[in-house]
Amino acid sequence: PSAVAVLTAAGSGARLGLGYPKALAELAACTLVGHAASRLSASGEITQIVVTAPAEHHGAVSEALSATPGVTVPWRVVEGGPSRQASVAAGLAELARTMDAGAPYDVVLVHDAARPLASAALVSRVVAAVREGAGAVVPGLPVTDTIKSVAVSADGPERVTGTVDRSVLRAVQTPQGFAWDLLLRAHAAGADRAQDESTAATDDSSLVEALGEAVHVVPGEAAALKITTTYDLAVAGLLLAEAVA
């Protein structure tokens, strides 16, 4: 049995605003997609990586991966879709198409190039939890801010409608890990949502939840922060400079 990974890199990175995909942004002379793929490789758990890329940046993403010495696991690039969910589905289809019936996958991870510093140890923790019998595993961190619900109004200030009990909230990260058959089933069941960002699932575990199947949480890590804005990119740069990621 082998663990395989879909690494999503097909977004446009509009909020980062570089004018090219976020996955190609650089952090300490390595692209975000290169960082993420090297850490997947370094875990020693993953036998192949399918990377999703925007159609017009297929070549650039391939070059970025070729140029990253730490990417030691076999990888290939496929075209993403109109939403993250659609891109993951494209990656899964490629993995399914090329699976050797004599050596099926047991575990599939889905990871975002937007979380370049998620550690090899976190990758291993997620794979181990799936192999211990959890069908679906997400890294999660406690929420530290006080969280309010609000009534949003078009013409006035937002009004607080309540304070949420944060002790039962978790901010979830990637890599998320799944039993191979379960994730295929979850994506098939949710496929009608994938074509539009407004209906698509923002992570894979929510598709498993929609099936009524259990999703387990393992401890996440601060270093697995998601790069959305230039602020996040600066924080990630500092973490690398301080050697804490």
Nearer to Mg ion, 22 or 35 (CB): 22
Tell me which of 4, 8, 205, 215 binds ligand CTP, using CB under 6 A: 8
Q: What is the Cα–Cα distance from 92 to 112, expressed in whole angstroms?
A: 14
Q: Is 205 in the site for ligand CTP (CB under 6 A)?
A: no
For residue 92, give the 3-state DSSP assignment. Answer: helix
Exposure of 228 by Cβ count < 10 A (0-12 exposed, 13-18 middle, 19+ buried)?
middle
Nearer to Mg ion, 14 or 67 (CB): 14
* DSSP classification of residue 107: E
Give the phi and the psi of residue 76 in degrees, each rounded to 5: -150, 160
141: enclosing H helix or E strand = strand 136-142
Choose from Mg ion, ligand CTP, none: what does 52 bind? Cβ within 5-8 Å by kind. ligand CTP
Query: Where does this chain touch ligand CTP (CB under 6 A) — which range of 3-11, 126-134, 156-164, 236-244?
Result: 3-11
Q: Is 166 in the site for ligand CTP (CB under 6 A)?
A: no
34: enclosing H helix or E strand = helix 32-42
Nearer to ligand CTP, 42 or 227 (CB): 227
Q: Where in 1-30 is the site for Mg ion (CB under 5 A)?
A: 11
Choose from ligand CTP, Mg ion, none: what does 176 bind? Cβ within 5-8 Å by kind. none
57-86 footprint of ligand CTP as x/- string (CB under 6 A)? -----------------------xxxxx--
| Cβ at position 196, least distance to ligand CTP in Å | 11
Q: Where in 219-238 is the site for ligand CTP (CB under 6 A)?
A: 226, 228
Contact 147, 163 (CB under 8 A): yes
Q: Is 113 in the site for ligand CTP (CB under 6 A)?
A: yes
Q: Is 11 in the site for ligand CTP (CB under 6 A)?
A: yes
Q: What is the Cα–Cα distance from 177 to 136, expressed in whole angstroms?
A: 6
Contact 161, 149 (CB under 8 A): yes
Q: Answer whether the bond into residue 82 is a cis peptide, omega within 30°.
A: no
Q: Note the Cα 139 to chain centre separation in Å.
A: 11
Residues of the shown chain interacting with ligand CTP in the complex, contacts defined by CB under 6 A: 8-15, 22-23, 52, 80-84, 87, 112-114, 226, 228
